[in-house]
Amino acid sequence: MTKQSLRSFGFGLLAASAALFVFDYTSTEKTLTEEEMISALEENNYSVQIEEEKNEKLEKKPVEAEPVNTEAPVKGESPEQEQQNVEKNKIKVTIETGMSSKDVVNELAEAGVIDDAESFNTYLTENDFASDLQIGTFTFSPNMSDEEIAKTLTK
């Protein structure tokens, strides 16, 4: 590369930088205030929740965990009694709007569905389940695998 071509290249970079600076400095792009952002989101049917509201909502919401029956079914029981025992072993957990995957995992841990909240949250994230969590009340049995729990939460 010759001295003249190197100078031309440098001048081109300088001219491009100056042009971008002038364009950026003179642009009339308006920055939105927090209130304008919230109103724009609400117009598009998004819900906006302040961190304090989210924490209050989570504190007020009780975990709907039913006690787990550890008794083994007796051999002489009728099918109806066995069905009742199976239903006693079910645990119901309600997932509400605005809950993050970490909040959901903490609810599951409090209800006794999972043992380790942190490892299950990692499982959800690594297997792309965390972004697909659904809202509603879900029923779990105590012997479900992590995969079964994740698929139940993402139906």
Say which range, 13-22, 48-57, 70-79, 94-103, has the weakest mean pLDDT.
70-79
pLDDT greater than 70 at residue 126: yes
Structure tokens at 76: 């002489």
Residues 15 and 11: their CA atoms lie apart, in Å, by 6
Q: The domain 61-153 is classified under which CATH number: 3.30.1490.480, 3.40.50.720, 1.10.760.10, 3.40.50.2300?
A: 3.30.1490.480
Structure tokens at 70: 């550890």
Say which range, 23-27, 54-58, 74-78, 138-142, has the weakest mean pLDDT.
74-78
Nearest of 138, 57, 62 to residue 95 by alpha carbon: 138
DSSP 130: G
Specify the pTM.
0.46
Handedness of CA 20, 22, 26, 31 (dihedral sign): positive
Residues 68 and 91: their CA atoms lie apart, in Å, by 7
Q: Domain locations in the chain?
A: 3-27, 61-153
Q: In which band, very low, low, confident or very high, does the pLDDT at 64 lie, cut at 50, 70 and 90?
A: low
Mean pLDDT of 138-147: 86
